Structure 1
Amino acid sequence: MTSLRTGPDELTRCAWVGDDGEYRRYHDEEWGVPLRGDRALFEKMALEGFQAGLSWITILRKRPRFREVFAGFDPAIVAAFGADDVERLMSDAGIIRNRAKIEATISNAALVHAMADGELDGLMWSFAPGSAGARASDRPRPRELGDVPAVTAESTALSKALRERGFRFVGPTTMYALMQSTGMVDDHLAGCWRARVDG
């Protein structure tokens, strides 16, 4: 499979985008763009956890419904969800109905809610390699899909730090996907129009 693909708009992108318009929008506007804020990062953590074992496009298509039923991923509100809310979510076909992931999202929300304002943001971004949004200085910009790691020392360390605080569904692979999607690393391939000039 080729690593780059030119779309109908004549822009060359990472090939994983394929022909899907929503994937193209996500690639162009979100993936690799630095994302800050406790609430925004909690949402990413939750959605990446729900994605485990599934394709990201599935999550993207369901994201509006996720946001609706999880109160915009407001940690204070989600932390107060009880057994009735779990059953409500388990019966909602608009999201991923996985009890363990739903319960983990609620317990993770309680942990975020108990943190000081900005603490989750500071904790997560402290594991970003180099300066904010920069790629690890010890590896060049990936040229092929095979050059993009699934796990790094930083994602493993972030996973460990979160697990020590009681967070769930935050494994090293999931955390590397989060680091990519929140711009903690920039894994746009060389030749992709979104690749930063510094790479």
Structure 2
Amino acid sequence: MNFETQIEKWVSEDSSRIHALEIASELKLNDWCLAAGFVRNMVWDKLHDRHFPTPLNDIDLIYFNREESSLETDQDLESILKTKLNKPWSVKNQARMHLRNKDASYTSTEDAMSYWVEVETAIGVRLSPTDGLELVAPFGLSSLFSSTVTINDKRRKPKEFYERVRSKKWLQTWPKLKIYA
């Protein structure tokens, strides 16, 4: 199975995800994608033969813009998105997130994602300029399709990792998942 093709097919068949992508693309942000649970949860749902999608806590829109990296800009973008689609949007410019995480400056959205706590969460999708789908996956897709939750060696914080697994109730929601820390 070609994992990229499979994800693109699943996203394309999900009208609510396509609608969210269309709305996000209207902002014309640099190096953007809808990431984390937006893709990860969908894949885990499919691997667990769930007939209904697991509700998203939020829709994570990430992008990269060094020129305008204020928190207020992200909050303004969230407000715009909520007027277009009344969902819990979370917008984060990855050009400033290195400060919160105490990392060296990130160079792109994909570089920032490569520091996320779990490997499988570092997955995003966006509409391409030709209205196709593009995936952003700094760790590839194999582990996502292996039903694993793997700690990121760059972010080696086991306490934070296990707290995220527990608080997000991933093992209760998707019991076939295996934890690798």
TM-score by length of 1: 0.31
By relative contact order (CA 8 Å, sep 6+), the higher-ranking structure is 1
User: When you count helix as a share of all residues, which structure comes out higher?
Assistant: 1
Instruction: Return the index of the structure with the highest Cα Rg.
Output: 1
User: When you count strand as a share of all residues, which structure comes out higher?
Assistant: 2
